[in-house]
Chain A
Amino acid sequence: MADTTAYDPLGAVGTWRRRQAKLIIHALLGLFALYYVVPLAVVVINSFRSLPDISHNGLISLPHSFSLDYWSSAWSKFCVGGTCNGIQPFFFNSVAMVVPATVISTAIGSLNGYVLSKWRFTGSETLFGLMTLGVFMPGQMVLLPWARVLGWLGLTNTIGGLVLIHCVQGLSFTTLFCRNYYVNIPDDLVKAARIDGAGFWRIFRKIVLPLSPPILIVTVIWQFTNIWNEFLFAVIFSSGTNQPITAALIALGTADTGVHQYGIESAAVLIAALPPLLVYLFGGRYFLRGLTQGALK
C-alpha cells in the first residue's frame, strides 16, 4: 500500500531514458553478482565431487564425478569433532545458541536505541559513545577475561555462557544500528504523542515499533550471521556435545595434518550456510519503503 504514493526515483524521466537507465542498472548488478557468486559455485560443484576426482583434477575444475552421498555423509555420518554423527548435533546446538542471543540482543538494542534517540538526558550521548566503544574490542583480548567471568558465574562450557557473551558483545552493535535509525523518526511525532498523554511504552509500541522493520531486520541479519559464523568463542567456551557448528566447519580452511574430504566438507559448509540464507530471503520483506510517509498526517 505504501507503493502507490511512495516516490519512484526514476519517475521524473521519460520512458526511453527510463528503460536505458534500467538496462545499465541491471548490467551493473549482474556484473557485481558474478563477482559475488563465483566462490559459491565452486563450493556447490565440489560438494558433488569425489576426493580422487578433486585430487587428480584440482579444486577448480568441472566435475568428473557426481554423487549425492557427500550431503548425507556431512549431515549424519561424517566423523567430526570427536563423534561420527555428521554435523547434525552441532547444527542444533548452534540454533539453540543463536536464536535466544539474536532475539534478546535485538530487543534490548531496539529499546536502547529508542531511549538514546527520543528520551535523551544529560550525558546520554557520552554514554552512547562509551557503549559503542565495545564494538572495537578484539576477541583475542577479551577471551581470558570472559573465561574468568564465566567461571565465576558457573557458565563455563555451556550454551548459556555463549548466549551471554554474544548478547553483551552484540548490544553495542544493536544499540548503534537502532539509535542511528530512530533519530530519523521525526521528533514532532513523539512530542505530539506525549501531549496526548502517551507514556514511554505506549510511544514505543504505537510509533517507534511500527516504523522499525527495516532496521530490525538489518540488526537481526547482523546478529544472526555473526553469532552463527563466529568461531573463536564458539570453540573455546563449549565442549564435547554442546559445540556449535563452526567447531565442525573450520576444518575446510585449515592446512593441518589431517586428510581433507573436500566433497563432504563442501556439503557441510553449504548446509551450515542455509539458516542465515533463509533469514536473508525471508527477512527481505521487511525492507519496506516509505514507512514514515503518512505518519505525520
Chain B
Amino acid sequence: MNSARYGTAMAAVVSFTFGLLSAGEIRAEPKTNLLSQWSQGSDAAAIAKLGEMYKAAGGHWEATSIAGHTANTLAKLRANVVAGNPPPAVQLKGPEIAEWNATGMTLSLDEIAKQENWEQLVAPELLPVMKPKGSWVAVPMNIHRINWMWSSPKALDKAGITDTPKTWAEFNADCEKLKAAGLIPIAHASADWTDATTFEIVVYGMDLDLFRKAFVEGNTDAMRSPGMVAAFEQFRKMINWMDPGISSRTWDVAANMMLTGKAGFFFMGDWSIGTFNAAGFKHGVDYLCAQAPADNGKPGFILNSDSVVFFKQKDPDYLAGSKLLAHLIMSTDFQTIFNQAKGSIPARMDVDLSKGFNPCQEKSEKDLEASIKAGTLVRSFAHNMTILQKYRGAAMDVITEFVNNSNISAADAAKRMADAVEAQK
C-alpha cells in the first residue's frame, strides 16, 4: 500500500483512539488508596469492610496499611510527599491535621460538609480539630474514650469491695483492700503511651482546669503548679501498687491479669473491648467498665478520634474517589460497622447504639452526651489530640521515666516535664 493511504489510515486510527480516551476522561472513575496503620486483625477487618462498601458504591479501592508504630505511617506519608506523590487519603489525627493543612497540600471538604450537615452531626470538641483553619479537611471515623477504669469482679469480690470507686480517695482505699487480700491492685504495662494514658486520667480526674491548661494548651506554668505535683504524688502511690514486671509486658498481657482475676483495676481506652471479646472474656463476668475516678463528681470524657485527611491530587479519578470516601466514612452504615469492630463509638452523634454494641460502648455514648452538657469534654494528650508532637514526646519521656525510676520525686517530675516542654519551644 502506498505511503499516502498508509498515512491516512494511521491518522484515522490515532484520532479514533484519542476519541475513545478522551470520552473516558469525561466521566471520572472514583479511586483511592487509603494509607493507615490498621494493618492486622480486627482493625484490618474493619478497613476491609470499608473497602467493600467503597467497591459497592462503584469505586476502585486500594489500601496501604503500615504495621507498627504510627511513626511508620507518618514516615511513609513524608516519603511519598517528598517523592512528589502524596497519597490521596491518609489516617491522621489531632494537631497533625493542622500541621499538614498548613503545608497547603490538603483537600477541602467544605462542599460535602455543607451538603451533609456535618456541623450538627459531629461532637463540638472535634470541630476545631477537623477544621483547623475553619475549612473541613478531615473526616472523623470514631470517638474513643480514654478515661475508662476496668475492674475485675472476681478480684473486687475477694477483697470485699462492693462498688467501683468514684473518687481518688475511694480508689486508694480500695487498692489497700486489694493489697491486703494478696492481689495486685493495678495491672499495668509500661510504655511511653500507656504511662501517659494513665497519668492523664489521673490529672483529669483530680483537676479538670489543670488538665486543660497543661495538656490541652501546653502551658508550662501549669505543669509546674502544685496541682501537677499532687497529681504526680497520686501517680507514685499507684505505681507502688503495680507489680515489678510492668516494663516487660505489653498492655494486652496486663489486661489479662485483670481479666483472670489476678489484678483489680486496669486503666486503658475503649479499644480494650475488642481485645477482651476476642479472647473470650465477658462483660459483667470477667470485667466491669466504669468511669475513672473524678474528684469533681461530674461525668467526664477524654476523647481520642481517628480521622482521614485527603491530599490534593492531579488525577481527577482520585479527586472523585476522595469525595466518595469522605461521604462513605460519615455514613451511618460505616460508622456503625467500623465502631462495632473497634470498640469505639461513632463520631456521628445520631447513631443508635442499642443493637450490636457492647454495654460499655452504650455507656460511653451516654457519658459523652452528659459530658458535653456538663462542659467537661476534653481531647486526649496521651493520644495526640492536643499539643504538638514535639512537646508531647518530650513530656511523655519524663512521665515514663517517672514510672520506672522511683528516685524521681513528684516535685522533680513536674519540674522536669515543664523544662522538657519549654526546651522545645
Contact = CB atoms under 8 A, between A and B. Distances in A.
* Direct interface between A and B, CB < 8 A: yes
Interface of A: 51-52, 54-56, 58-59, 78-84, 143-144, 146-148, 150-151, 156-157, 231-232, 235-241, 243, 247-251, 253-261, 265
B41 A258 contact: yes
B68 A239 contact: no
A247 B39 CA distance: 8
Given A235-B72, A236-B79, A259-B274, A81 B279 contact: no
B40 A243 contact: no
Contacts of B76: 235-236, 239
B78 A256 contact: no
13 contacts: A55-B259, A55-B280, A55-B281, A79-B41, A81-B40, A81-B44, A82-B39, A84-B45, A143-B75, A235-B67, A235-B76, A259-B41, A260-B41
A248 B41 CA distance: 11
Interface string B250-266: 11110010011000000
B225 interface: no
A123 to B, nearest CB: 35
A16 B87 CA distance: 71
Residue among A83, A235, A253 with max Cβ neighbours from chain B (10 Å): A235
Contacts of B64: 82, 238-240, 243
B48 A83 contact: yes
Given A79-B48, A82-B51, A258-B42, A51 B79 contact: no
Nearest to B45: A79
Q: When A and B form their complex, which 3 residue pairs have the shortest distance between CB atoms, in order from nearest? A: A151-B83, A82-B63, A251-B40
B69 interface: yes
Interface residues of B, number: 51
A259 B250 contact: no
A51 B279 contact: yes
Contact of A56 (B47, B65, B78, B260): B260
Contacts of A240: 33, 62-64
A147 B80 contact: yes
B85 A156 contact: yes
Given A81-B39, A251-B41, A258-B42, A144 B78 contact: yes
B84 interface: yes
Contacts of B48: 79, 82-84
A255 B250 contact: yes
Most buried by A among B67, B275, B278: B67
Interface string B70-101: 00100110111011110100000000000000
B32 to A, nearest CB: 10
Contacts of A256: 37, 68-69
Nearest to B253: A59
Nearest to B87: A239
B66 interface: yes
A236, A238, A253 pick with most chain B CB within 10 angstroms: A236
Contacts of B33: 239-240
A82 to B, nearest CB: 3
A156 B84 CA distance: 9
Interface of B: 33-35, 37-45, 47-48, 51, 62-69, 72, 75-76, 78-80, 82-85, 87, 189, 191, 250-253, 256, 259-260, 269, 271, 274-275, 278-281
Contacts of A59: 253
Nearest to B47: A82
Contacts of A81: 39-40, 44, 63, 65, 67
Given A239-B64, A247-B67, A151 B85 contact: yes
B83 A147 contact: yes
Contact of B42 (A157, A231, A259): A259
Contacts of B44: 79-84, 258
Contact of A257 (B79, B80, B269): B269
A268 B75 CA distance: 25
Q: Which of A52, A82, A238, A247 has the most B CB atoms < 10 Å from its CB?
A: A82
A56 B154 CA distance: 15
A148 B83 contact: yes
Contact of B275 (A56, A254, A260): A260
Contacts of B37: 256
Nearest to B306: A257
Contacts of B189: 255
A115 to B, nearest CB: 34
B66 A247 contact: yes
A231 B43 CA distance: 20
Contacts of B85: 151, 156-157
A150 to B, nearest CB: 6
A55 B251 CA distance: 12
Given A236-B79, A258-B41, A151 B84 contact: yes
A58 B262 CA distance: 13
B191 A144 contact: no
B67 A82 contact: no
A271 B278 CA distance: 23
Nearest to A261: B41
A220 B41 CA distance: 34
B392 to A, nearest CB: 17
A254 B41 contact: no
Contacts of A241: 62
A265 B278 CA distance: 14
Nearest to A52: B280
